[in-house]
Structure 1
Amino acid sequence: MVVAHPSAPEPSISFVELASTTDTSEDLPLGPLVPADAQGWSPLAVGCATLGYGIYAPPPTTKEDLEMPLRMVRLALRYGVTVFDTSPHYHPSEVVLGNCFRALKDEYPRESYKVITKTGRYAGDGFDYSPENIETSVRRSLRRLGCGYLDVVYLHDVEFVATPQACLQKIYKPLDFLSDPKLQAEAGLLDSQAGEILGEGDEKIVAAFQVLMKLRDEGLVKDIGISGYPLPVLLRLSRLLASNPLTTPGITSLLSYSHSNLANTSFSSYLPLFLQTSPNLRILTASPLSMGLLSPSGPPNWHPARTGSPQLMKSTAEAIDLAKEKWGKEGGVVDLALGFGVRNLEVEKGGRKVPVVVGWKNVGEVHEGVRVWREVNGLGGEGGKEAKKGREETEVKFRKVFERDGVQDMSWPSGPWTK
């Protein structure tokens, strides 16, 4: 099922009522809960692309399939995971998630969780950053999710709309853009280029962001920002929106994905630069498995690494075999990669953390995700210090495969030329 542009009819989604939903010992937390910060943000967030049929799982066919989203969302909340990330682009994800929130409203009222969604990108119809559509899309998300307000709304995958840059149209290392003045100039990252609009695409982003500012002024959205893959683009646009008189003071939230994992750790070097645009910026990272790249079965057919980076694919396969041999735990590379990815980065020493968005499809994955998070963040887990040492030693060996092949911290092209 493809949920298209906001002008298309809404889909009809089958749903199992709470009263007839399975609720057994498997639906209860195991061990300590995940603590939220003073603002109610948990260090783990549920990535709800998994609720979009056909993206990471086939459409539901059985009662068990139909009730699993509700069970998964309920267990996450029972564990103290309060943050949910979705998008109109994720097929019917917003509709399915909204049904879950409505079913659980007596136990978990709106103020007990955070909702993040996006606007401007739609399954089947590509991108529409027109001001009229941005407003229509956000208002539709409010209805779908059953919310009077949204905690965060991002302009979705901004690199597909921003004015294209030739330096990002091939595989590259984001860290090179932090040290090479020539690359910085090509990517618009010099201090003298802050606030510079490079073309029509940038103009569309400025106009769309102004709509989000208006919706925030109306109280419909709390934080507004951008999401996407290429770190140089996210940094350039963050500076543009902070410097342009039409959009000052700029974004208040940012979502980066696939740059804080075993294959690519570039995000940690960009973090202080993003914070320079706004010291109170709410930042999240997503996809500790790099959209399935770091899984035994390999990434899905649509994954950009399959066509954009053959060497990265080859190195990943070898590193996964090494992880099977050296880590020797049930779950293998998924356990290893998830543990590496959910170590929360600190925004400031001893202070705010960067929440990690993890996609879960069922209650078993919720249990496993929370267990691994507790283990790597020193809040209990299996095996104590020896297990932690074994995990870290295997992580180093895993990363060395990428380093040997010259693809450590490499990014694939993402933008309008890759549609």
Structure 2
Amino acid sequence: MSTSQPRQTLQLPPIVLGGSGFSYQVHPDPKSVPVSKIIRHAFDVGIRAIDTSPYYDPSEHLLGEALASSDVASQYSRSDYILMTKVGRVSVDKFDYSPNWVRKSVHTSLERLGTTYLDAVFCHDIEFVTIPEAIEAVGTLFELSTKGLVRYVGVSGYDLDRLVYVAHAVREKYGRSLDVVQNWAQLTMQNTRLERYGIPALKEAGVPVICNSSPLASGLLRASGVPLGTLGDWHPAPNGLRAAVKRASDWVGTQDTTLAGLALRFSVARANRASQNGVSVHTLLGICSINDIEENVRAVRSILLPESAVGDGVKNGDASVLRLKSVNEAVEQRDLVLFRTVRKILGDWAEYDFNKGQVKQDVLPWWPGLSAGISADVLGDWSALAPRSSW
């Protein structure tokens, strides 16, 4: 399958609502959450994109009910917002990337979410399967995109090396680049590898849109520690990193801000700075309440300025998230002073990789010339790799 027809680019707001907040993974009772009111409030302030997954049980069910509710449907039509979901991850330790399952998963998500199309679908956590499996699943999604069921196709995961390799391999095999790639916890105050390595490497593979999920490293970078749902403490951060983050949080608390607020402002600013020359970077936020939205939007409005900040009567604190376009350099400079101290407190835990452990390099290499061609031998070597065990 090959196509050379120019494609439109997925248009996302600076921040995207992450549906994992409506799951048992991070919330003890997601069915008690007022999802319709949260979605309505998010849309009202300009967060008109949602990312979820069948794995985030029961997120898709709850979102479908919310989007059909009078709270949301009375004011917003389907074309007013972006819906993104995933395929392939069935449970904590079960994955199915087969064409039949991918098709079945997409149709199930359409039914749960009450829609006739999905704006974007990701292959979920591709580091847990072999590279050929991931490439084949992308091909199945490309087929579904020709039928109008899926508009944009992507892959997601933590392992940046795997994401980059698959992005190049997909373009080599199908003559079409991935539309979007989602990576988590690697454009944060603790780990900046997505900015230093991932974004340039993915851009080289022709990927126009990158989603930075978990700017708080899945709840690590906050005073209250990692979230606990019915799965218990699944977070991969070792105790030494957690202790260092606690010390950093205590210090930041003496500086008239919070670790979570500082971490979010940092990630959003860096994403904005990286959005240029044909690539855009967007931040995904896990949200469980209206208060989460208000706190997150307050932080984002403080670090980003609206496109017409002067002379239009709109105060920055009131601007829709959709209008926030450029970094507030005064806030950024104050934050960078705090950031440098936080990094000193983290010490050797700065740039710690949940996959690779301690990473010392300031600039990490990747496969040079990969886009020029991928040999069957290389793919064969990668296909023999055992999927990474779950956290």
Distance 1:221 1:406, change over 3 A: same
Corresponding position: 1:72 with 2:38: yes
Corresponding position: 1:342 with 2:268: yes
TM-score, reference length from structure 1: 0.73
Which deviates more from structure 2 when the two are superposed, residues 335-344 or residues 283-292? Answer: 335-344
Alpha-carbon deviations, 1:331-375, whole Å to 9, x = none?
Answer: x21211122122233455487641110111111111111111011
In structure 2, the partner of 1:56 is 26
Corresponding position: 1:305 with 2:236: yes
Distance 1:388 1:224, change over 3 A: closer
In structure 2, the partner of 1:368 is 295
RMSD of aligned residue pairs (Cα, Å) = 2.4
Which deviates more from structure 2 when the two are superposed, residues 295-304 or residues 135-144? Answer: 295-304
Contact 2:135 2:166 in 1 (8 A): no
State the AA in 1 paired with 2:296. G
Corresponding position: 1:396 with 2:303: no
User: Shift of the alpha carbon at 1:60?
Assistant: 5.2
Distance 1:110 1:318, change over 3 A: same
Aligned mates of 1:45, 1:218 — CA distance in 2: 26
User: Shift of the alpha carbon at 1:386?
Assistant: 7.0
SS for the counterpart of 1:223 is strand
Alpha-carbon deviations, 1:16-68, whole Å to 9, x = none?
Answer: xxxxxxxxxxxxxxxxxxxxxx975211100010111x22222157xxx35x2
Which deviates more from structure 2 when the two are superposed, residues 270-279 or residues 69-78? Answer: 270-279
Aligned mates of 2:353, 2:93 — CA distance in 1: 26
| Paired residues, number | 327
In structure 2, the partner of 1:111 is 79
In structure 2, the partner of 1:223 is 152
Corresponding position: 1:82 with 2:48: yes
Aligned mates of 2:89, 2:295 — CA distance in 1: 31
Aligned mates of 2:330, 2:224 — CA distance in 1: 28
Superposition pairs of residues 20-419 of structure 1, within 5 angstroms: 41-52=12-23, 54-59=24-29, 65-66=32-33, 68-103=34-69, 104-123=72-91, 126-161=94-129, 201-244=130-173, 247-269=174-196, 270-278=198-206, 281-300=208-227, 301-306=232-237, 309-325=238-254, 327-329=255-257, 332-343=258-269, 344-349=271-276, 353-379=280-306, 380=316, 389-402=333-346, 405-413=347-355, 416-418=388-390
Identity %: 27
Aligned mates of 1:80, 1:297 — CA distance in 2: 28
5+ long unaligned stretches in structure 1: 1-37, 162-200
State the AA in 2 paired with 1:59. D
In structure 2, the partner of 1:6 is none
State the AA in 2 paired with 1:314. A
Aligned mates of 1:106, 1:154 — CA distance in 2: 29
Aligned mates of 1:90, 1:241 — CA distance in 2: 26
TM-score, reference length from structure 2: 0.78
